[in-house]
Every structure is written in C-alpha cells, then in structure tokens.
Homo-oligomer: A and B are copies of this chain.
Amino acid sequence: MRRVDGVHDMGGMHGFGPVVETGGELPYREPWEPRVFAIQMLISAEGLGAGPGGRATREEMDPAHYLAASYYERWLYSAEQRLLRRGTIAPGDVEAMVVRLEAGETMPPHADAAMAERILDELRTAHPMGPAPAQGAFSPGQRVRVRRMHPQGHTRCPRYVRGAVGVVEAVRGVDRLPDRATYGEKIQPEPVYSVSFSSEELWGAGQEPAFTVLLDLWASYMEPA
C-alpha cells in the first residue's frame, strides 16, 4: 500500500464547502482527541511503532475512510497501525479492551515520570535541517519546472504544482527526500528550495486577482525550466 497520490493531496480540490464553521476555531472538541495526539507522539518517541510514520500511514487510509474520518480519528488509525506493524499490539487487542471498558471495568493509570520527562524534552527540541550548500542544483532567481511524476508512495510534491514553472526564491537547507527516507532508505540529504508560482501558471486566469503560491521543494522534484 505504498501508493498515496491520494485524497489527502487536496490543493485546489472543489466541493468541500466553507472553511469557517461553528466550532472550527477549536483545536479539538473531545477530551480523547489530544490524548490520541499524545499517544502518537509517544509511540514515535518510545519506539513502539514500526513502518512509515504516522503521516504516511494516514495517507494510506482508504480514501472514503480518510474523508469521512475526523482529524484525530485519522491519528488513532495511524497509531493503531504503527503498533500493529511492530507487534506491540495484536489484532483484536483494542476490540477486547473496548469490551472490558464497556463492561464497566476501570483501568488503573500507569505512572512513569521519566517517560513524561523524555517526551517533554523531545517536544521542546528542534531538529533543524542541515545548512544550505554553497553550490546546489538550483540558485535563487532561477526558473524551474516541477517534474510531472506519479510517486508510488509518500511525497511532499503536491499534484497541483507538477509540471508548473516557478522561480527559486531561497535555499532552505538540506534534508533527506521524504519519498525515500520515509521508508527507511539510507540516503544523503539534498537541497530544499523555496519556489514561487504565479496563480495563473498554476490555475490559469481566475476569478481572483493574481496571487503567489510558494512551496518548499526538494531538488529531486524539479528540473531547469
């Protein structure tokens, strides 16, 4: 299931309705939601999961499920999948616990202050990209075309910019290409560029005055225009 040019790639899609809706200003509405967020963070930090990370795992969801699920429902999905892949939990374990909870069983909390310290330390630590190289594939001011491509797995190159011509505005640093690094491949970092596109190049002349869209794109995604 490393095939994720999926519905998560939403730039420019129609039909989803208004942005501003009642309650939408809150980060979450239910107490379980930030707890699922925390569990996903802990799965990564404590090495309890396996396979691609939470994000790539969520992108592998069935498209109808992805769209129907709430945001933290997707996180719950990825948490479970990553635990299952590593064998930390087995199929049926969650369902069995649901039954116990529904039967009224009360589960004692598990305290581990050191684990709490570790995750707080981790969340307070930045992991910056490596510094920009003196000489990279592209230079600020250069025109580039995003490759027309059809990645067979996780990618950070959205469909709506593929084939479009933009201008390099800055070099952000170097980073490993997610299309391969996500799956554990040992690869060298490559430059990441800030690239600007005119709305007319992306979408044609539209109903709004022209605007600019900027993305951070790995060198592999582009060719000279």
Interface residues of A (CB under 8 A from B): 1, 3-7, 12-17, 59-64, 66-68, 147-150, 152, 159, 162-164, 201-204, 206-207
Contact = CB atoms under 8 A, between A and B. Distances in A.
18 contacts: A4-B14, A5-B12, A5-B15, A6-B15, A7-B7, A12-B150, A13-B63, A15-B59, A63-B67, A64-B67, A67-B68, A147-B204, A148-B163, A148-B164, A148-B203, A148-B204, A150-B202, A150-B206
Oligomer: number of copies: 2
Contacts of A159: 159
Given A152-B207, A163-B163, 5 more contacts: A5-B12, A5-B14, A15-B63, A148-B163, A149-B204
Contacts of A5: 12-15
A121 B204 CA distance: 43
A122 B98 CA distance: 56
A146 B3 CA distance: 26
Contacts of A4: 14-15
Nearest to A66: B15
A15 B62 contact: yes
4 nearest A-B residue pairs (beta carbon): A64-B67, A150-B203, A3-B14, A149-B204
Nearest to A205: B149
Contacts of A150: 12, 202-204, 206
B12 A6 contact: no
Contacts of A14: 3-6
Nearest to A160: B159
Nearest to A3: B14
Nearest to A206: B150
Given A3-B14, A6-B13, A148 B201 contact: yes
Nearest to A60: B15
A78 to B, nearest CB: 14
A148 B202 contact: yes
Nearest to A62: B15
Contacts of A147: 204
A66 B67 CA distance: 10
Contacts of A6: 13-15
